[in-house]
Amino acid sequence: MLILFLLSVAFASPGEAQLAREIKTISLDAHGRVGVACSLPGSTLDCDLNPKARLPMQSVYKFPIAMAVLHAVEQSKLSLTDNVKFVPADLISPGQHSPLRDVHPQANVDVRLSELLRLAVSESDGVASDILLRTVGGPAVVDQYVRDLRISGMQIKDGEKAIGRDPRVQYRNYAEPQAMVDLLRRLADRSPFTAAHTAFLIKLMTETETGPRRIKGLLPAGTIVAHKTGTSGQDGGVTHATNDVGLITLPDGRLLAVAVMVVDSPASESIREGVIARIARAIYNAAASPVNAR
């Protein structure tokens, strides 16, 4: 294994080696585990840092949940116009994020499926996500759907309510950064959905309100980013997960897939988010450079 590693370093281009060093150096500021992967078809871009580490997704898992729901829609098992009952059993703990619960604290309202998807993806609403999980058949259905797409390195076992009861549960919902990039590329390059449903999901991800200082934080003004964030709480001053994964539209129109996951970090939120933003900018600069141009 050591010989293979040394050979890979020896034959890496200067640009690739420089990017890898830059990402590694930036990651040290988090004082935790950092996983990075990216993909730009037709390029030799290499930004791997622990790309096969199994890291807790937190709300990033709402991206594959949304894909599983749209799959059910395309199978005519569900419709975006369906009204789904938000029942009291769907309520999650007060400390967990849910604009839907904040507006309807007693539950007992009907919510259109398309609105649940918007809330879960664009606003990272935990109640909406759990309702979607319940509606589609539970975590096992989403987990199997991802496997059916031939994406390995991702596991979905629990919903928001279970995570809220026991912080250790969040580690059961893991993804390797490379697996998340593979799923992003599947949506971007060979979408399993109709053009309309693909555009709908990418629109929801582009309108994501969370994490403006993460992947998007240091990119040129006006850069389009379709992404999904994930954030945990703290235990003993350690934040279990600060994540962002998404598709960055380059100036030439190509889509750059990036996943940056910061795990078990004692650093402040500004530092954790800054690590993600700086890594994303480094990858963007390398991707947009002449050597990687079409």
Q: List residues with catalytic annotation.
A: 59
Decide if 234 contacts 242 (C-beta within 8 A): no
Strands 55-56, 174-175: pairing kind? antiparallel
- Whole-angstrom Cα distance, residue 73 to residue 193? 10
Report the run of H or E that residue 205 belongs to, with start and end.
helix 195-206
CA dist 229 and 245 (Å) reads: 6
Comparing CA positions, the residue from 245, 176, 264, 255 lying closest to residue 205 is 245
Phi and psi dihedrals of 120, rounded to 5?
-70, -45
A 10 A CB-CB count for 137 gives 14
Amino acid at 284: Y
Strands 234-235 and 174-175: unpaired
For 269, the token pair is 């939120």
Dihedrals phi, psi of 43, to nearest 5 degrees: -120, 170
Residue 25 to residue 159: CA distance in whole angstroms: 34
As a whole number of angstroms, the distance between CA 24 and CA 9 comes to: 14
